[in-house]
Amino acid sequence: MRKLAIEPQYAIEVKGLRKTFGKGENKVEAVRGVSLQVRKGEIFGFLGPNGAGKTTSLRMMVGLLNPSAGNVIILGKDPKEKQNQDFIKEKIGIIPQEVSLYLELTVEENLWFIANAYRVPSADAKVTIDKLISDMGLEEKRKALAKNLSGGMKRRLNLIMGLVHNPELVLCDEPTPGLDPQSRVVVWEYIQDLPKQGKTVILTTHFMEEADRLSDRVAIIDNGEVLVLDSPKALKKSVGEGDLVEFMLENTEKDHLEQIASALREFNGGKAIQEVYISSNRVIMRSKDVISNLSRILNHIEDQGAEVENMAIRNTTLEDVFISLTGRALRN
Ligand SMILES: Nc1ncnc2c1ncn2[C@@H]1O[C@H](COP(=O)(O)OP(=O)(O)OP(=O)(O)O)[C@@H](O)[C@H]1O
Ligand SMILES: [Mg+2]
């Protein structure tokens, strides 16, 4: 009877992953017990501040770094076993955080170097390389030496270097620092398109907007631990429903701000406003129905003898989720 090959359910599974660097006084617990599964065909985001353990986790997840403890399974295979290593290497494309190019080679020579290293047949490599160069808007620079590219162009080339061998699993460590807003959108759209080509993407970022826009699911990581893991929508919903309204108040002392905040908590019997807190000189509130209550809320604030200097209504962000979990901002 023919044996059926069982397709692995997940692109990557990790269990109890830990990494400790150094000893004694220099000991750093970079990753402290991370367990998760990356589904095939999703964009999985790691969001966390500098030093949270994103790159270390990622490097262990692709077999580039040995864990101090825990297990990794990549496309159903254990990277510790020697016979799996070539298979894994071929299936994974790594886009490193530090731009890594052959500076004395041209743009297209850099890409051909990778194609040759992976033994991609030349006809396929040509088609792929032409497409990658065009997708990243680097046509005019294809004959330019990598060392003469601008910083943003180097980063765009760095991104496509990891895709020349058509990997099934793409790991992208901080894809957009240093890019101007337009290039950032080009890169975002490019990454968003990868699942349509049947690829799974793992992304790390400390930009909450990037994690929100791109990821199907996000793991928020801090101090080497995953604090929460869910879709951006569910994470934002978890901190409360409705929009946030920030009131900037003129010359208002802390005590007065507290007085205004408690008055808002009692507004309309506490029904219209879900949450009120103070941050520097602002009073921030969450309401499910801002628009219909707004003028009454403004009057209510003025009744407390305060003057609203400025006001902003905004949606909940992943930054609010991070603050609610840690009490700190993502970037401080
Ligand atoms: N090779 C190493 N030797 C010693 N410590 C290390 C090493 N690599 C990482 N670390 C430490 O581990 C912690 C996590 O680092 P990591 O690079 O994983 O963070 P990150 O979340 O990717 O941060 P960033 O957003 O700045 O890229 C940091 O405290 C870092 O200094
Ligand atoms: Mg990093």
pLDDT above 90 for 242: no
Question: Residue 233's pLDDT band (boundaries 50, 70, 90)?
Answer: very high
Q: Is 22 in the pocket of ligand 1 (CB under 6 A)?
A: yes
Q: Is the pLDDT of residue 192 over 90?
A: yes
Range(s) of the domain holding residue 260: 240-315
Give yes or no for residue 97 CB within 6 A of ligand 1.
yes
Q: Tell me which residue has tokens 């569910």.
A: 234
pLDDT of the residue at 2: 59
Atom of ligand 1 nearest to the CA of 22: 4
2 assigned to some structural domain: no
Give all strands of the β-sheet with 282-287 in edge-to-edge order. 273-279, 282-287, 243-249, 308-314
- Ligand 1 pocket check for 277: Cβ under 6 Å: no
**Is 194 in the same domain as 65?**
yes
When pLDDT is averaged across residues 312-318 and rounded to a whole number, the result is: 91
Rounded mean pLDDT, 155-159: 94
Tokens 């047949």 found at: 121
How many angstroms does the Cα of residue 114 sit away from the middle of ligand 1?
Answer: 27
Over the chain, what is the mean pLDDT? 91
Same domain, 36 and 105: yes
pLDDT at 69 over 70: yes
Residues 113 and 223 in one domain: yes
**Pair (192, 72) in one structural domain:** yes
pLDDT of residue 293: 86
Question: Ligand 1: which of 54, 203, 208 to mutate, most ligand atoms within 8 Å of CB?
Answer: 54
- pLDDT tens digits, residue range 205-219? 999 999 999 999 999
> Are 288 and 160 within one domain?
no
Q: Is the pTM of this model over 0.85?
A: yes
Contact residues for 308 (Cβ-Cβ < 8 A; gap 6+)? 247, 248, 249, 250, 298, 301, 302
Hey, which of 26, 50, 55 would you mutate to test ligand 1's pocket, going by the most ligand atoms within 8 Å of its Cβ? Answer: 55
Which of 94-98, 167-171, 276-280 has the least mean pLDDT? Answer: 276-280
Q: What is the CATH number of the domain that holds 275?
A: 3.30.70.100
CATH code, domain carrying 147: 3.40.50.300
Q: How far apart are CA 132 and CA 157, in angstroms?
A: 9
Q: What percent of the chain has pLDDT over 70?
A: 97
State which residues have CB under 5 angstroms from ligand 2, the bound ion.
54-55, 97
223 within ligand 1 shell (Cβ under 6 A): no
| Chain segment 286-309, per-residue pLDDT in tens | 888 888 888 999 999 999 988 899
Burial 37-74 (b: 16+ CB within 10 A, else e): ebebebbbbbbbbeebbbbbbbbbbbbebebeebebbb
What pLDDT, on the 0 to 100 scale, is given for residue 205?
93
Q: Are residues 142 and 257 in the same domain?
A: no
Q: How many residues can be counted in the chain?
A: 332
pLDDT over 70 (residue 6): no
State whether the beta carbon of 51 lies less than 6 angstroms from ligand 1: yes
Q: Which residues touch 79 (CB under 8 Å, ≥6 apart)?
A: 62, 63, 72, 85, 88
Give the whole-angstrom CA distance, residue 17 versus residue 62: 12
Residues 129 and 110 in one domain: yes
Nearest CA to ligand 1 atom 5: 21
Does residue 200 sit in the same domain as residue 311? no
Q: Which residue has the tokens 């692709």?
A: 62
The count of structural domains within the chain is 2
Q: Residue 4: what pLDDT? A: 61
Residues 6+ apart with CB under 8 A from 154: 99, 101, 146
Q: Are residues 220 and 258 both part of a single domain?
A: no
DSSP 8-state symbol, 125: H
